Each structure stands twice: as C-alpha cells, then as structure tokens.
Structure 1
Amino acid sequence: MGIGDARLSRSLGVVDSVMVGLAAMVGAGIFAALGPASAAAGDWLLVALAIAAVVAYCNARSSARLAALYPESGGTYVYGRERLGPFWGYLAGWGFVVGKTASCAAMAMTVGAYAWPGNATAVAVLTVLVVTAVNYAGVQKSARAARLMVGLVLLVLLGVVVIALIDAGGPAWPWTGTGAVGVGGILQAAGLLFFAFAGYARIATLGEEVRDPARTIPRAIGWALAIALGVYLLVAVAVVSALGTDGVAGAVDPLAQAVSSIPGAEVVVRGGAVVAAAGALLSLLLGVSRTVFAMARDGHLPSALASVHPRFGVPHRAEMAVGAAVLVLVLMLDVRGAIGFSAFAVLFYYLVANVSAWTLDRSARARVVPLAGALGCVVLGFALPLASVVAGLVVLALGAAVYGARRRNATR
C-alpha cells in the first residue's frame, strides 16, 4: 500500500467521540484558563464566557458541516485545501499543529504543577511519554481512557460546585460588572476561554476513524460543546461565589482554593486537575498526530510521517514526532504563554474553517453562522495579549515561507 493510499480504520461511535472532545475541553478550560480569564475580565467573566461559547458554537457548526462532507483525518487542513486551495489548507494545518503542540505542552505542565510542584518539569516529561504510549497502542484504547478520565473529572467538578456554593452561602455573582474592565479585557478573556472550548476539533480531526461520519461527527460535536458549556458555567459561578473575581484571578489553583475549607477536598481537586490535564493531553496528541499524518500523506510534511502501524492501525510515526516536539516545548515555555499562543493559532485555524463553510452554500441564511464565526475569530485573536499575537503572526508567516520555498523547489 502506497503512502497516498494509507487509511485508518473506522472504529469510533458517538459516545467515544464525545468523550474524546470532552477530555480536551474540560481538562484545558477549567484548570488552565479560568484564572487568566478572570484577571482580564474581572466581574465580566461570565460575559466573556458567553462570547467564547458563541464563537465556539459558530465554529462547531461550520466544522460539523465540513466534516460530514469531508470525513477524513486532518480537519480544517482538509476543508481549506478542498474549498479554498492547497495554500490555505496547508496554513490552517500548520497553525493547528503548532498551536496545539503548544497546548499539549501547557497540559503536560499543568499535570506537573498540580501533581508535584517541586518537580513539575520532570512529571510533565513523564506524562508526555506515558500518554504518547497510550495513543500508540491504538485509538480505541485512547477513547476508553478518555471516557474514564472525563467521568472522574466531572465527579470532581461536581464536588467543587457543591462545596464552593455551600461555603459561599449560595451563588453570588456581580452580574452588573463592578470592576474597571474595558471591552478589550472582556474580549481578551473570551479569547483565553476559547482555548477551553477548542477540544471539539479533536472530533473533526478523527473523521477518518468514526463510524457513519455524516451522522456521528455533527452529533458528537454538538453534545460535547453543550456539556462543556454547562460545566463551565456551573464551575465559574461556584468558584467566583466562593472567592470573588479578584480571588480567582490571583490564584494559580482557584478550584483548589475554593474548596480549601473542607479537609481533604483540596487534595481531591488537585488529583482531578491531574486527571483532567492528562486527559486533555491524550486527546490533543491524538488530534495533532492525525493532522500531521494527513499533511504528510499530501506531501506537505516528510512522507515517513504518513505511515500507519500494521498492528495498532495508528499513524505511529506522526504520534512519535508530535510527542517529541511537545517534550521540547515543555522545557521552553510557561503555561500562560502557551495558552495565549495556542489560542491565536487555533482561532486562525477556525477562521479558515468558517471561510471554507462560507463557500458551501450561496444563500444568505446559510452564510450567517460562518460569517459570525469568522468575525469572532478575528476579533478574539487580535484581542489576545500582544506577545501572543506577534508570536502567532511570526509562526504563520514562517509557515507561509516554508510553503513558498517548497513550491519554488518543486517548480524548478
């Protein structure tokens, strides 16, 4: 079988696909983005969460339509290539791979920070190695692990909500927004929180491995996004009721702080954070490796990365390459910088997805959602911290330069 003929087996149903998406969203959002977002939005945190959810919904709708039409590994890399041309597909794939590799590093570092703060880097490295090995053993094993992790994390988060609300005497949110926060701060918080919703992309990138993709992918994306939004709202209200927005913004572990009044609860929450971040890392590595596989299969990355393991049926070389890149980033980045950079790159990725969906139907009604999604991606992307925006633009420009050099060499 040639490189261009390499295919993955269709073994995932709706429930497994939802769990893969939730493992990315719940783990990334609650334990990594809530504090930085609260620092940016202050009392307007729920408004920022709502904005992020609306943009994520538009992106999900566009992605679901495209994934049903193009049920292949690669997600927006494939959609951009088919609808807008090879360059835009390539650049979307480039942004996804780089941005989500940074997300993988952020999740690994979160595991280390919660599990063993004094040796966070060593724990992060070990976590990457273990999760890469799980993915290498086969996508079904990864899906089962994701289901277990999501169940445990949701139980922990339910405990956080109950304990924090009891400690606070009930929900108490300053809905009018008394903090001195401008529109830019709210939008920046929405951009950071969008990082928490981006897990549904894992479902689309598994398009070649789900059964009946035209039916499974849209249903799985919708369920995963709805469940994640409900969880985020409950936890955000509970934690802010207990700590206040300033308390959430000033804590590196706000969920643990929100339950610290109950003996032993903080330890459980920290354990939940480790499970959540590890689950997110598992799902992220799964999606990034599939995009690398698809780009290699099309000749945009080294052809050796398009190999499928004869026994496990996974793109094993792509998975090993992504795991190695994450290990390097773990040693170079910090968590907050990784979140901002990743959010910018992924918002560009969804910008391409929305523009691709725009081309599917010429009717004005059908174009409302992709237009809103595209505008949302641009606004939230450029509202992120300046360092993240500059780094993101540099990386995209580098990707474009690599593409141009390849094309010139091919012409010669």
Structure 2
Amino acid sequence: MNNNSSNNARNSTSEVGLRRVLGFWDVFFASLGGQSPFLSDLTYASVVLAIAGLAGPVAIIIGTIVAFINGFVVARLSKRITETGGYYRYATKYLGGTPTGFFIGWNYLFYAILYGDAYVIGASYISQWILGIPWQISLPISLVIITILAYLGVRISARYAIFAGSLEMTTLILISVVLLLIPHGVFFNPFSYVSSVSLPTLMVSVVYAIAIPTGYGTIAPLSGEVKKARETISRAVEAVIITGGALAALAIYSTAVAGLSYMNLHEFVKFLNEAADKGLSPVVIILHHFLGILLDPIIIFVMINDGVLGGLAYVLAASRTLYAMAYDNQLPSALSLVNSKGNPTISVLISALSLDTIALITTYLLGPFNAFLLLGFLSMLANLIVHLSSNLALFRAATMKMKAVLYGVDTMRGLDKAMSIAAVLITIFTAIESTLGINPVKLMPYFISLVIIISYLMIKALITRRRFFKAGIHNYRMTK
C-alpha cells in the first residue's frame, strides 16, 4: 500500500474513531484517579515521611509547587495544541521535529508504564501486608481488570472515576480530620525540621512527593478526546495538582500528629527509620493503630479503586501517545487504528501488556515493596525529562508570534517565558540533587534504555540520510 492510500485509510478510520466525549469532571476525576490519592498516601507519602521525617509535609509542599509549575506549562501548551499525543506533540512542534518528538514520546511511555506499574504493585503490597492476600493473587487480578477496562475504552473509566474519586476524597478528608482531633496529638511546625535533613535526602523525598500530584500527566495525551480542549485541559491540570497536593499534605501532617500522640519525638523518628528499613508503611501502621479492623475495608477499597484506576489511567495515556506517534508514521501504522467505539485497541493492548509484563517480572525478582520503590523512582526520572522538554517547548512557543490571538494563547508571552525558565531550573535542580542521594545502580535500567533509544534514532537518521543521498545521486544522473 502506498503512502497516500495508507494515509487515506488512517484518516477515514480516525473520523469514526477518536471522538471528543470527555468533559471537565471526566478529565479531572480520571486524572485524580491517576494520582490514586489514598494509595499515594499509603505508599509515596509513606516513603516521603520515612525519608524526610517531620519535614515530610514540607517535601510534599515543594513537590506540589514543582508539579504546579510544570503543570502551568502543560496548561499553557494545551491551549496551543489540542491533538492527541500531549508531550510528544509539544516536542514535535516546538523542539526540533519528529526526532525530538520520538525521544520525548519514548520517555513518556517509560514514565507512564512504570508509574502505572508502581501504583498497581503498591496496592498489591499493601493488600498482602494488611489483609494477608499474596501479591501472586492480587497483582494478576488487578492487571487483568486494568487490561479489560482499557480495552473497553476511556469513557467507562471516566464514569467510574467520578464516582470512586468523589468517595475517596471524602473518605481521605474525614480520616485526616479525625487524626487531627485525636487527644494528646502534637501539632508541630514542619518547616523547623527541614535543617535536620540533608539537601540531597530532602530532594529524594521531593521526587517521591512529585509523584503524588502528578496524575495530571495523563490529561495531555487525551486532548484529542476532550470537549473544548483549550479551556478544559488547562483548568483540569491546575485543579487536579492543587487538589492532590493539598490532600497529600493534609494526610501526611495529620498522620504525623497522630503518631506523636502516643510516641515522643525520639521514638517517632526511630519508628520511621525502622519502618523504612523493614519496607513497611508508617502511614498504614499509624492508621491501623487507631482504626484497627476498620482499616481493612478501606484497604480493600483502595486496592480495587486506586490500584486499578491508577494503572488504567496511565495505560490509556501511554496508548494515546503510541497512537499519535504511529499517526505521524514514527511507529507502525497499525498502532493508529481504532475500533468503532473510538478506542485505539492495538496501542491499548500493547500498553497494557507492557505494564502487565514489567509489573509481574519486577515484583517476582524484587518483591512488591522494592519493585514499587525502584519503578516509582525510575518513572519520576523519565517524568522530569518529559517535563523539562515541555518547559523548553513553552519557551520556544512563547518566542513565536502567532497570527491571531486565540483563547489567551498569545496574551501572556512574558509570563510564559518566565514560568518556563523557572520550571527548567527547578526541574534540573530536582533531578541533580535527587540522583545524588540514591544508589547509581538503581539508575541503570533507565540509562540503558536511554542508550538504546538514542542509538535507534542515530541509526534511523543515518539510514534516512543515506537514502536521501542515493536519491540525490540518482536524480542528478537522470537529469544529466
């Protein structure tokens, strides 16, 4: 099939495929589901508390600010580009064309799949620890549910997210308030404990803190399926970051206050260190101390809701990135095919099966807790690269004069430049400081993958250049 007929077939498929069916609340709660607020507090927030101690709430605040600055960048870019693909599209249009777009698209896939894995593995770890359900049972079941729901389409997951997300937010707030009202609870100023933590250690905790409100990363790739995308995407991105960060800060602070109600400061710090060394969640331990068996049904709800919906959100986002890259002929065209319900099923299945395979292998080799820590950190490294590219893309976009002002796109160019520069500096600083505080061996999977994809791009460029050179010689001889 020639290129024209292939493009025609693809275009006709897209016309009956991807449809703008998602509204603000669909996108907001689907993204909040990507954050998995309750599960994040039991996992990522536990890691932050274990690493940073009583300075943990400050790490959450810093992580939320970093996420919001990067989110502002995405919000502004979403007003310029409303097609499916998100970060891949931003890099392609503003940062050097398809090679850069392909590199950033791959980084996003690395981030999305591993981040989704971290959530579903975290849910299985907690269910095994508290409920005694082996991960060998809970993890495969969760992965099967994720794969099935992803295959059924984005609309179904959005409907579930609105119901489950509302219920989860209410539950999390109520528990936090109850913990703050516990007798003998010690209210403290977390900022006064920042100096007790080294900067690299604090930044490691910030990287995990960024993971909590970063569910907005699932919104941009879905732009092609959102109604009034220029308005809806930007509002949803900002709202979900603030909501997720506020819930996490409230939860981790209330947990620490509750812990200090029956432990003194020295005992509490020792408890955090011992919990981290044993791979236990201090948040879960403190909640279980006060809630007892009442915590069990909450954990069951978290496992079903957050583990599945968190993984599902990133499978859908990864599949839309695959779809966009295939649509631009950067990947096999079969990945851009959609079914009659508007779902790119081949891209969805590849994304889901990749998530399934990585989750099962890493959990089998490392155990659920260590697999969660490794995949969570690696995904955040790729996330920093992805957002660094979007920061640079916004700066580039702000220097390009548009022919017409549309939805405020070209009315805040000074602010866009300032925020993009600030986001670049913060992202680079966070990446450098956080990697100084972790074992370099844990970074190897990402850098090996990085070398592979760069090698692929170089080989592809050489082949393209050689074909162009041969074509030029042939045309020259024919003309002569």
Q: Please give the range of the TM-score, normalised by the shorter of the 2 chains.
A: over 0.9
Q: Is the CA contact (8 Å cut-off) linking 2:50 and 2:282 kept in structure 1?
A: no
How has the CA–CA distance of structure 1 residues 351 and 4 changed in structure 2, closer, same or farther, with 3 Å as cutoff? farther
Deviation (angstroms), 1:397:
2.6
Select which of 202, 216, 233 maps to 1:200: 216
Pairing 1:94–2:144 present: no
Corresponding position of 1:36 = 47
- Secondary structure of the residue aligned to 1:72 is coil
Find out whether 1:65 has 2:85 as its counterpart.
no
8 Å contact from structure 1 (residues 60, 221) kept in 2? yes
Aligned counterpart in structure 2 of residue 273 of structure 1, from 283, 302, 327:
302
Q: Deviations over 1:84-104 (max 9, x none)?
A: 122221111111101211112
Give the letter for the 1:11 counterpart. Answer: V
Aligned match of 1:289 in 306, 319, 326?
319
Match of 1:323 among 352, 361, 381: 352
2:61 corresponds to 1:50 = yes
TM superposition shift of 1:53: 1.2
Give the equivalent residue in structure 1 for 2:409: none
How many angstroms apart in 2 are the aligned matches of 1:409 and 1:125? 42
Q: Alpha-carbon deviation of 1:342?
A: 0.5
**1:18 aligns with one of 11, 28, 35:** 28
Question: CA 1:78/1:234 → structure 2, altered by over 3 Å: closer, same or farther?
Answer: same
2-side partners of 1:125 and 1:87: how far apart? 36
Shift of 1:401: 1.5
SS in 2 for 1:262: helix
In 2, distance between residues paired with 1:387 and 1:75? 31
Moved more, 92-101 or 294-303: 294-303
Shift of 1:159: 3.5
- 2:85 counterpart residue number: 74
SS at match of 2:291: coil
- 8 Å contact 2:315–2:355 — kept in the other structure? no
Structure number, greater radius of gyration: 2
Within 1, Cα distance between the matches of 2:329 and 2:455?
16
Q: Which consecutive residues of structure 1, in runs of 5 or more, have no partner in the other structure?
A: none
Kindly indicate whether the alpha-carbon contact (under 8 Å) linking 1:55 and 1:373 is maintained by their aligned counterparts in 2.
yes
Provide the secondary structure at the position in 2 that maps to 1:300. coil
Q: 2:373 aligns with which of 319, 336, 339?
A: 336
Q: Which moved more, 1:10-19 or 1:362-371?
A: 362-371
Query: Would you say the 8 A contact 1:77–1:291 is kept in 2?
Result: yes
- Mark the runs of 5 or more structure 2 residues left unpaired by the alignment: 1-7, 261-267, 363-370, 400-412, 468-480
Shift of 1:164: 2.2
Is 1:253 equivalent to 2:281 in the alignment? yes
Letter in 2 for 1:200: Y
For the pair 1:375 / 2:425, whether they are aligned, the reply is yes
Q: How many residues align?
A: 411
What is the deviation of 1:166? 3.1
CA RMSD of aligned residues (A): 2.1
Is the 2:157–2:309 Cα contact (8 Å) retained in structure 1? no
2:397 to 360, 364, 372: 360
> What residue is the counterpart of 2:10 in the other structure?
3
**Letter paired with 1:254:** P
- How far apart, in 2, do the equivalents of 1:152 and 1:115 lie? 20
| CA apart distance, 1:180 | 3.5
In structure 2, what is the equivalent of residue 219 of structure 1?
235
The code of the aligned residue for 2:416 comes to A
Mapped partners of 2:11, 2:272: distance in 1: 50
The more displaced of 23-32 and 74-83 is 23-32
Indicate whether 1:115 and 2:127 are aligned. Answer: yes
Cα gap change, 1:179 to 1:266, in 2 (>3 Å): farther
Distance 1:171 1:357, change over 3 A: farther
TM-score normalized with structure 1 length: 0.93
Q: 1:269 to 1:168 in 2, by over 3 A?
A: farther
Q: Check 1:375–1:387 CA distance in 2 against 1; reply closer, same or farther (3 A cut).
A: farther
Give the whole-Å Cα distance in 2 for the aligned partners of 1:42 and 1:398.
Answer: 38
CA distance in 2, matches of 1:62, 1:292: 22
Q: Which amino acid aligns with 2:282?
A: P
